[in-house]
């Protein structure tokens, strides 16, 4: 269950790349009456098929966007990290939300009224373009994923999926934190056993190495093939 907490919301948004183009007045207008909610691990933030009248921004923790509750037969669309947002498509086209968003760790989520989002988007060309660019990149990522499912083998698809859920580490590595073979299997449309074998092969070849605190390090060159 989510509980509200109080924080200087405009300051938080100012550090989020999507909102960097907004003026102080626009930021204050956007967060007026916005709510910061805290969710526990496994809490459902937004359900597939539900009406969506707000923009959601993940401030801390992690979440995943998928076709349904965790379990067998689930298609994992993307992992959400701090700064990522969701709900904007439903605000734009008025249709129910097309995925489940479930926390994979305790998370803080900012809930912004959809009317205020639409008003600020209409008043700022730069903000509108930032939204369009983000949606375009998401579409390109989906196209790459579909192409990989159709043409790539399990090993190639596993590497691409690991790169998708990774974060910057250094000039040679990406870092992956606490992602299970089951999660990757759901992303690449393969069995857990096949993905586990692919991960073992990547480790044997030195492209994937164990790091500290349950992390794995993926060589950047591995995902460029």
Average pLDDT over residues 10-14: 82
CA dihedral of 194, 198, 203, 204, whole degrees rounded to 10 = 100
Which parts of the chain are beta strand (E)? 3-5, 35-39, 44-46, 54-60, 63-66, 76-80, 85-86, 100-103, 107-113, 167-168, 173-177, 208-210, 215-219
Predicted confidence (pLDDT) per residue in 86-123, tens digit: 998 888 888 999 889 999 889 999 999 999 998 888 88
DSSP label of 96: P
DSSP conformation class of 165: T
221 Cβ partners below 8 Å, 6+ apart? 172, 207
Tracing tokens 């968003």 back to the chain, one arrives at 101
Q: Which residues contact 132 (CB under 8 A, 6 or more apart)?
A: none
For the chain, the structural domain boundaries read: 3-148, 153-224
Compute CA 216 distance to the chain's CA centroid, rounded to the nearest angstrom.
19
Contacts of 74 (CB under 8 A, 6+ apart): 66, 67, 68, 186
* Average pLDDT value for residue range 40-60: 91
Q: Which token pair is 125?
A: 């060309």
Average pLDDT of the chain to the nearest whole number: 81
Average pLDDT over residues 61-85: 77
> Which H or E run contains 182?
helix 181-188
Strands 35-39 and 3-5: antiparallel
Rounded Cα distance, 28 and 96, in Å: 28
pLDDT at residue 107 in the model: 93
**CATH node for 153-224:** 1.10.10.10
Is residue 91 within 8 Å of 118, Cβ to Cβ? yes
CATH classification code of 3-148: 2.60.120.10
HSE of 70, CA atoms in CB hemisphere, 13 A: 14
For residue 95, the tally of other CB atoms under 10 A from its CB is 12
CB contact set of 40 (below 8 Å; sequence gap of 6+): 1, 103, 106
pLDDT band at 5 (very low <50, low <70, confident <90, very high): very low
Tokens at 173, concatenated = 């590595």
Q: What is the mean pLDDT of residues 37-41?
A: 93
What span, in angstroms and rounded, lies between the C-alpha atoms of 96 and 87?
9
Rounded Cα–Cα distance for residues 189 and 123 (Å)? 41
In angstroms, the CA 225 to CA 89 distance is 32
């Amino acid at each position: 269950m989510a509980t509200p907490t109080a924080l200087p919301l405009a300051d938080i948004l100012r550090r989020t790349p999507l909102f960097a183009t907004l003026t102080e007045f626009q930021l204050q207008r956007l967060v007026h009456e916005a709510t910061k909610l805290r969710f526990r691990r496994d809490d459902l933030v937004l359900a597939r098929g539900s009406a969506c009248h707000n923009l959601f921004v993940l401030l801390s923790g992690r979440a995943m966007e998928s076709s349904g509750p965790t379990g067998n037969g689930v298609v994992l669309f993307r992992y959400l990290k701090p700064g990522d947002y969701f709900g904007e498509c439903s605000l734009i086209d008025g249709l129910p939300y097309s995925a489940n968003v479930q926390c994979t760790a305790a998370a803080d989520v900012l809930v912004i009224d959809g009317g205020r989002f639409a008003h600020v988007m209409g008043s700022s060309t730069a903000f509108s373009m930032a939204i369009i660019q983000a949606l375009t990149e998401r579409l390109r990522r989906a196209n790459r994923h579909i192409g990989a499912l159709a043409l790539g083998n399990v090993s190639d698809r596993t590497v691409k999926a690991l790169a998708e859920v990774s974060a910057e580490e250094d000039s040679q590595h990406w870092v992956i934190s606490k992602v299970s073979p089951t999660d990757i299997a759901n992303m690449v449309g393969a069995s857990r056993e096949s993905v586990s074998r692919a991960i073992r092969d990547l480790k044997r070849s030195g492209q994937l190495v164990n790091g500290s605190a349950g992390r794995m390090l993926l060589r950047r060159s591995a995902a460029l093939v």
